[in-house]
Chains A and B, each alone.
Chain A
Amino acid sequence: MTGFHLRSAAPRVVARLFVEAEQAGASLCVLWLDLDRFRQVNDSFGYAEADAVIARVAGRFRSVVGERGTLLRMGSDEFVALLPAVDTPDAERMAGRLLALIDQPMPLGGMLFRPAVSIGITWRHAADDPLSLLERADRAMSEAKAQGGNRFAVIAAEPPRATSGARAARQDLEIEGVLHVSLATGDLELHYQPIIRQDGSVEAVEALMRCAVGGRQVSPLQLVAVAEKTGLIVRLGEWILLQGARCAARLREQGYRTKVAINVSRLQLCSASFLSVLHAALICTRLPADAIELELTESLFMDVSPVVQANLRGAHEAGVGLAIDDFGTGYSSLANLKDLPATKLKFDRAFISELPDDRRAFLILGAITRLAGELGMVVVAEGVETAEQLAACEAAQVDATQGFLHARPMSEEALLLWMRTRRTR
C-alpha cells in the first residue's frame, strides 16, 4: 500500500512530527480511521475481496489527506493521518469529506458495497509521547464506533492517562518491536508440550512459540495477535511450520512415532500458497504427512472462503491431521461436526477448569467425546492441572489430556530427555 508508513514505524514517525511541530510552534492533529463491519466483509466475502475494499478505502483516505499530512497503516483496516497545523473546524471538515467520499459504493463480490468508517480526532498535548497521542486518537475512534459508526468523534488535547487500553497498546507495540528483531536475528524458540493418552503413551506434542519481551515471557496468543495485526504472521508461521516439522523428524530419528501439532493462524490459511509451503516443509524434512498435525480454531473450520476450504481439504487429503483447537469457546454447532475434515477435537481449558465440580460440564464432555469418537476423531482435553480433573476426563472417556499436570512446554532438548526417561515410543 503506497504512501503509508508501517505501524512499526509509528513511534519514530510521530516523534519526528513532534519535533517539527515544536519547532514550528504548530499544533499536531491526529485522525484515526477504522473501517466499520470489516470482520463481516472478511467473513462473508473472503480475504482477497476484503483486501480490495481496504485498498480502495485507503486510496480515498489518501486522496482527502493529500499533501497535508503523513499517513500510517496501523492494522489491516486501521489508518492514521498526522496533520500539522490543522485546527478543529478544519479537521472536522476533513472528517466530513472523508465520510462522504468513503460512503460511495464500490464493487464487492458481484454487488455494490457501501463502506463506512469511524473516525477519531485529537490533538497533541504538551505532555504527550507518541504512544499516548495515538492511544487517545484510537479512543476517540472507539467512541465514534460505539455511537453506531459512520461518524467521527473528537477528544480535545488532554494530558495522557494511564488507562488499561493505553497500557495494552503500548505493550502491543513493544511486542511488535521485539518480534521484528527476533525474526531478523533468529531470537525465537519453539517449546513443546506433550499430549498424553489414557494408557500413558504420548499421543502428540504441541509446538508453542516462546518469545521474551523485557525479560518477561509473552503468551503465544498475544504474540500471534500482534503478528497477525502487523503481517509478520506469514513469515513467523512458515518458520514455525519448518521448525515443528524438524522436531517431528528428530523425534522419528530417535525412534519415536510422536506427531508434532503446529498452530496455524487465519492469515496463513487464507494464503493461496499455504499447501505449497506445507508440502515444502514436509519435503525439506523428509516427513510423511501424518507426522504433523495442524491445530486450527473452530471458526477457521467454519470459514466459508473458498481458499480456506481448499487449503483444509488439501491438507486433509495429503494425510496431515487437522485438530479443532479451543473447542467450546467459539460458535461451531454440533451439526457442523459431521462436515469437518477434522481428525482431532481439543476441548478448551476453560471447559476443563470447571471439572470435576460442574456436573453439567462433565456430562457435555462425555457426550461430545462419544459423538466425536463415533465420527472418527481423537478427543483431547487441554489445561488439565489437577489429578481430579484428569480423573474426570478419564471418566468421560476422553482419549488424551494435555496440561501442567503432565508437563509444561519444554525445549526440544528437554523434550527428548523427557521422552527418554518415560521410555515412550
Chain B
Amino acid sequence: MDANEKDALIDVGSGGRAAVETALEKNLRAIDIPPRPLIIDRIRSEMLQDEPCFRRVGQLINADVGLAAGLIRTASSPSFGLRARVRSVADALMLLGLDVTSRAVAAISLRRAFPNSGHYVRFWDASARIAALSGWLAQEVGLPGLHAADAYTFGLFRDCGIVILLRRLPGYQQTLARANLDAKRSFTAVEQADCPTDHAVIGALMAVDWWLPDDMCQAIRHHHERSALAPAASELPRVSRLLIAVSQTAEHLLQELRGASRTQEWVKLGDACLPLLGLDEDGLRSLHAGATAIIDAAE
C-alpha cells in the first residue's frame, strides 16, 4: 500500500457528503467484520456435489449483476492470464474452475462488503492495483504452485485488516502513519506496541471466516514478517511465502513506477522477497515496462 494512499485514510474529508457517509457508517457499525457473502457458501456447496453443476453456479452469479460484471472483468484482465476471451460468467467458470471462481468471487465481494465511501475509496483503489500487479507478476515469474488468481485475491485481502482497525480503534491512524515510517521494526510490531492486535491477525481471521485456503490465510497472517520468508527457518508453506513475496514486490513496483512513497516495507523485506521469486535487481528492472502497462490498465 502506497503511503500516500494510506495517508489519504488519515485525512478524513468534511465536505457535504459527510452527513450521508456518517449515516452509512452508522448503519454498518451495527455489524461486525463483513460476513461471508452467501454466494461463496453456495459455490462451495456445489463443489461438494459429485457432479457440480456449472450452470447452477452461473445462474447464482448472474443473479447479482454487479458480481457477474466484476467476475467477467477480472477474469478478462491480464492479471488472470487467461488466453481465451472471457465474455460471460459461463466462460469465466469454464476457464477458472469452481475453486478459483469462488476465490475470485470472494475478492470481488470484499470491496463491496466494506464501506466504499470517501477516504476508503483510495485504499481499495491501491489494493486493487497491487492485486492486479500481483496476478500479472505471478505469471511473469512462472513458479510452480503460484497461481495468478490466488496472487490477485491475496493482494486484495492482505491489508483489509487496516480498514477494520481504522473503524474500530481510535488513534489507529497515528499508529498506521508510524508503522509506515518505521525502517527497523516490522509493520505489525509497531501496531502491536500501540494496539492489542494487528491488521495481519485481523485480516487472517477474516480470511478464515471467508473460507480462503489455508496457504492464503497463513500468508495474510505473516505478510510483514521477515523471518517467515527465510526458506530454512520458516515454518510457512512455500506457497504462502511466494504469495507474500509477489505482493510485496508488486507493491514495490507500484511505488517505484508511481513515485513518492514513504513506506519502508521494501527496505525491510525486499532482499528476502527477490530470491524467492528467482529475481535480482536487473530482473526486477526488466519488469518495469510490463508493470506500467498493468498499472495503467488497472486505473
Interface residues of A (CB under 8 A from B): 181, 183-187, 235, 238-239, 242, 246, 249, 253, 273, 275-277, 279-281, 283-286, 318
Contacts and interface: CB of A to CB of B under 8 A. Distances in A.
A277 B197 contact: yes
A281 B197 CA distance: 10
A186 B45 CA distance: 9
Contact of B32 (A277, A279, A284): A284
**8 closest Cβ pairs, A-B complex:** A279-B196, A279-B197, A284-B33, A285-B32, A185-B44, A280-B197, A276-B197, A276-B201
B288 interface: no
A276 B44 contact: no
B21 interface: no
Contact of A242 (B41, B47, B196, B208): B208
A283 B164 contact: yes
Interface in B178-221: 192, 195-198, 201-202, 204-206, 208-209, 211, 213-214, 217, 221
A184 B213 contact: yes
Contacts of B197: 276-277, 279-280, 283
Nearest to A285: B32
B208 A238 contact: yes
25 contacts: A183-B214, A185-B45, A185-B211, A186-B36, A186-B41, A186-B211, A235-B208, A235-B217, A238-B208, A239-B209, A242-B205, A249-B32, A253-B30, A275-B196, A276-B196, A276-B201, A277-B205, A279-B196, A279-B197, A280-B201, A280-B202, A283-B165, A283-B197, A284-B202, A285-B33
Contacts of A286: 29, 32, 168
A371 B30 CA distance: 42
Chain B CB within 10 Å, residue with most, of A186, A246, A275: A186
B48 interface: yes
B47 A185 contact: yes
B23 interface: no
B192 A276 contact: yes
Nearest to B191: A276
Contacts of B211: 183-186
Interface of B: 29-30, 32-33, 36, 40-41, 44-45, 47-48, 164-165, 168-169, 192, 195-198, 201-202, 204-206, 208-209, 211, 213-214, 217, 221
A286 B33 CA distance: 9
B32 A246 contact: yes
Given A239-B208, A283-B165, A318-B196, A273 B41 contact: no
A185 B41 CA distance: 7
Contacts of B214: 183-184, 235
B224 to A, nearest CB: 13
Contact of B205 (A181, A186, A238, A275): A238
A137 B145 CA distance: 33
Chain B CB within 10 Å, residue with most, of A238, A253, A280: A280
Chain A CB within 10 Å, residue with most, of B44, B201, B206: B201
Contacts of A238: 204-205, 208
B44 A283 contact: no
Given A185-B47, A286-B168, A273 B32 contact: no
Nearest to B36: A186
A270 to B, nearest CB: 14
A405 B213 CA distance: 40
A318 B36 CA distance: 28
A318 B195 CA distance: 13
A284 B206 contact: yes
Chain B CB within 10 Å, residue with most, of A185, A285, A318: A185
A318 B41 CA distance: 34
A318 B209 CA distance: 24
A266 to B, nearest CB: 18
Nearest to B199: A280
Given A246-B32, A285-B32, A318-B196, A185 B48 contact: yes
Contacts of A277: 197, 201, 205
B208 A283 contact: no
B262 to A, nearest CB: 26
Contacts of B30: 253
B70 to A, nearest CB: 21
A284 B205 contact: yes
Contact of A281 (B44, B165, B198, B205): B205
A253 B32 CA distance: 12
A402 to B, nearest CB: 27
Contact of A186 (B32, B44, B204, B206): B44
A6 to B, nearest CB: 11
Nearest to A275: B196
A79 to B, nearest CB: 17
A279 B45 CA distance: 31
Given A273-B221, A277-B201, A283-B196, 7 more contacts: A186-B44, A187-B48, A235-B208, A276-B192, A277-B197, A279-B196, A284-B206
A187 B47 CA distance: 12
Contacts of B40: 186
